[in-house]
Amino acid sequence: MRAKLATQKSISTKRRNAEKLTKQASKARVASKRAQEASKKIDDAIKGRGKSVVTTDDLKHVTKTLRDHLKDHDVVFRPNEGPQTVFLESPERDVLYGGAAGGGKSYALLADILRDASNPNHRGLLLRRTLAELTELIDKSRQVYTRAFPGAVFKQAKSTWEFPSGAKIWFSYVDDDRDVTRYQGQAFNWIGIDEITNYPTPYVWNYLRSRLRTTDPSLGMYMRCTANPGGVGGWWVKKMYLDHAPPGDPFWARDFDNGEILKYPKGHHKGDEPLFLRKFVPARLTDNPYLFEDGQYEAMLMSLPEVERKRLLEGDWDVAEGAAFTEFSKSMHVSEPFEIPEGWARVRSGDYGYSSPSCILWGAIDWDNNLWIYRELYVKGFTGERLGDTIAMMEKDDPVMQLTVLDASCWNRVGLGPSIAETMIRRGVRWIPSDRNRMSGKIEVHRRLACDDYGNPRVRIFSNCNNLIRTLPTLPLSKTNPEDVDTKADDHAYDALRYMVMSRTLVNAHNTHRMSRHTQKYEPQDQTFGY
């Protein structure tokens, strides 16, 4: 028995030693492979063949001799550790590098577009909004490109860089939506837009993405943008890149209007698979030692007005220049969902659109007459019939709505057919016209956002109401009428909220008749108004 136990112990020890040696050998193979890869990257960078950035982490895996050689070599561009390096190494199809001013965003674009400059089929396009801004980028490229690629030539007439390999990079500008037609029929495997928030709508961005293609399977396709928070286009850039995942985390590209993951259509050989990944890389001034260390630029940013300081120094995307509702605060006005208590009055409001989004909000009024927005529907391309059916389905287990308010224009008729409101009413979804007074409505929204004597706001929003939370703090004031919001902005959720807070039900919610949770099928007494 003792001999048997000794034999088993010996076998067990040998097995453990063998497993230990196997793990050590595996680590050695990984380290060797990593060292080979790092050495190749460094060699490519030195000889101008590099497709990626040599990082500090790479240097840890190579010999001291090679590290010293690289240190002594005439390095043209060395990315800062942190976000700039993360941006340049990002494999995702679509990446935004944005945030605080001074993070090195423009130089990052100039470097990233060179990732395939050794391939003769590489075609890159780098854009700014205006010619003056473009000139600044060209001047920066002259400082880098001829040193990094001896023999590279800039063609002034066409604002084009031509590289020894045959690769080409175009520098251009798009000042107006109509300017994108100059790229019709062209193809690029890399497209970058510097300061994309200068564009008020995503039109230019969307069109240029359609030019992103290549017939060379060895080339990747990349869409790259940089931005500071705010600007005329801050609202849509934030919606597209920041509202779906934490900074730095890749996420599947989503539909601009409804936020759903974009997928290959059914019947495609990749049917129902997500299309591609996006990512937002936040920029910080502290990551750029060339501007941060002496403190001069930081001091200048600290002296800016509050909104500009938060945007450009702190990289805060939740503030906007000229924002209509500066009272809004996520920490104060956003609440985690909870079960609405029995007896709280229920209300519904809606702003209808077909080409533009429709927004439906559901609210509950507590015993202190505070409003809680607990649900939203934010859709595009819905007919009155489809929207009515969707609302009815979402309310099938709800108490009967005490008051339901819809944009008064939905009662306008075209021809002899029913209006949008009448169409929904006939499908069992009742409405009454909203109050049209825009100024009074805006004032009432301000009043509800403000705090009472105890420091509590009069309106709170459940965290699942993403579009109301997204658009309300960034909604700008009208430049022609400072007493109103900019109606060209994403104001659909705001309009629905405005209709709701102007409802007379909110004034005296709990003096009205209580309806039972379960009622017979709704039959409108009035085909026009539903009540």
pLDDT, one tens digit per residue, over 11-28 is 667 677 767 777 776 666
Identify the pLDDT of residue 137: 86
Identify the pLDDT of residue 487: 86
Identify the pLDDT of residue 28: 64
HEC-encoded secondary structure of 57-124: HHHCCCCHHHHHHHHHCCCCCCCCCCHHHHHHHCCCCEEEEEECCCCCHHHHHHHHCCCCCCCCCCEE
pLDDT band at 433 (very low <50, low <70, confident <90, very high): very high
Q: Does domain 83-312 have CATH number 3.40.50.300?
A: yes
Q: What angle do CA 35, 40, 45 make, to 5 degrees?
A: 130
Instruction: Give the separation between CA 79 and CA 54, rounded to whole angstroms.
Output: 8
Q: 90-94, 177-181, 263-267 — which is least confidently predicted?
A: 177-181
% of the chain with per-residue pLDDT over 70: 74
Instruction: Give the separation between CA 419 and CA 461, rounded to whole angstroms.
Output: 31
DSSP 8-state code for residue 40: H
- Higher-confidence residue of 524 and 271: namely 271
User: How is 481-530 classified by DSSP, letter by letter?
Assistant: -TTSB-TTSS-HHHHHHHHHHT-GGGTSGGGSPPPPSS-PPP--SSTTT-
Instruction: Give the separation between CA 283 and CA 93, rounded to whole angstroms.
Output: 19
Token pair of 214, please? 């290549």
Query: Is the pLDDT assigned to residue 257 strictly greater than 90?
Result: no
Angle between helices 64-72 and 2-47 (to 10 degrees): 20
| 140-160: average pLDDT | 89
Instruction: Give the separation between CA 489 and CA 482, rounded to whole angstroms.
Output: 14
- What are the counts of helices (DSSP H) followed by strands (DSSP E) for the chain? 17, 16
Identify the pLDDT of residue 362: 97
Instruction: Give the separation between CA 441 and CA 503, rounded to whole angstroms.
Output: 10
Identify the pLDDT of residue 244: 86
Place of tokens 């308010």: 405
Identify the pLDDT of residue 50: 47
Grouping H, G, I as helix, E, B as strand and the rest as coil, residue 270 is coil
Closest CA to 495 of 410, 383, 428: 410
Q: Summarize pLDDT for 28-73 with one digit per residue, the tens.
A: 666 666 666 666 665 665 454 544 445 444 555 555 555 555 555 5
Range(s) within the chain of domains with CATH label 3.30.420.280: 330-511
| 327-336: average pLDDT | 88
Identify the pLDDT of residue 319: 63
| Backbone CA torsion sign across 316, 322, 326, 328 | negative
Instruction: Give the separation between CA 477 and CA 321, rounded to whole angstroms.
Output: 9
Identify the pLDDT of residue 32: 64
Instruction: Give the separation between CA 334 and CA 473, rounded to whole angstroms.
Output: 12
Range(s) within the chain of domains with CATH label 3.40.50.300: 83-312
pLDDT band at 222 (very low <50, low <70, confident <90, very high): very high
Q: Does domain 330-511 have CATH number 3.30.420.280?
A: yes
φ, ψ (nearest 5 deg) of residue 490: -80, 80
Which residues fall within 8 angstroms of residue 414, CB to CB, at 6 or more apart? none
User: Rounded mean pLDDT of the chain?
Assistant: 81
Closest CA to 191 of 169, 176, 175: 169
Query: Is the pLDDT assigned to residue 113 strictly greater than 70?
Result: yes
Identify the pLDDT of residue 198: 86
Cα-based distances in Å from 312 to 64, 156, 285, 297, 327: 40, 33, 9, 11, 20
